[in-house]
Structure 1
Amino acid sequence: MRRDGLHTARWIALLLPAALLAGAWGSQLFGLVPCEMCHWQRWPHYAAMIVAALSFVVRPRPVQMLFVLFAAVLVAVSGGIGVFHAGVEYHWWQGITACTTSLAHGSDPMAMLQEALGKPMIRCDVPQWSLFGISLAGYNAILSLGGAVLIFILAARRPRA
Structure 2
Amino acid sequence: MPIRKTDPVQLAAIAVVAVGAATILGAWAFEYAGYPPCPLCLDQRIPYYVGIPLALVCLIVARARPGSWPARALIGIVGLLFLGGAVLAAYHAGVEWKWWPGPADCAAGAGGDVTTGNLLDSLQSTPLVRCDEAALRILGLSLAGYNVLISLALAAVSLRAAFRR
Normalised by the size of structure 2, how large is the TM-score? 0.82
Out of 127, 139, 154, which is 1:132 matched to? Answer: 139
Q: CA separation in 1, counterparts of 2:122 and 2:77?
A: 44
Aligned to 2:105, the other structure's residue is in SS state coil
After superposition, residues 1-161 of structure 1 pair within 5 angstroms as 2-58=5-61, 59-60=64-65, 61-99=68-106, 109-116=118-125, 119-158=126-165
Q: Give per-residue Cα distances to partners, 1:85-136, cap 9 Å, x unaligned.
A: 0000000111123315999x9xx833333234xx222000001011121100
Structure 1, gaps ≥5 residues long: none
Q: CA separation in 2, counterparts of 1:69 and 1:14?
A: 14
User: Structure 1 counterpart of 2:55, which letter?
Assistant: A
Identity across matched positions, percent: 29
Aligned to 1:124, the other structure's residue is in SS state coil
Structure 2, gaps ≥5 residues long: 108-112
Q: CA separation in 2, counterparts of 1:67 and 1:154?
A: 10
User: Structure 1 counterpart of 2:52, which letter?
Assistant: M
Q: CA separation in 1, counterparts of 2:151 and 2:59?
A: 21
* Aligned-pair Cα RMSD in Å: 2.3
**Contact in 1 for aligned 2:38/2:129 (Cα 8 Å):** yes
**Contact in 1 for aligned 2:8/2:164 (Cα 8 Å):** yes
Q: CA separation in 2, counterparts of 1:45 and 1:2?
A: 25
Shift of 1:2: 4.2
User: Structure 1 counterpart of 2:50, which letter?
Assistant: A
Normalised by the size of structure 1, how large is the TM-score? 0.84
Q: CA separation in 2, counterparts of 1:25 and 1:47?
A: 16
**Contact in 1 for aligned 2:72/2:161 (Cα 8 Å):** no
Shift of 1:12: 1.5
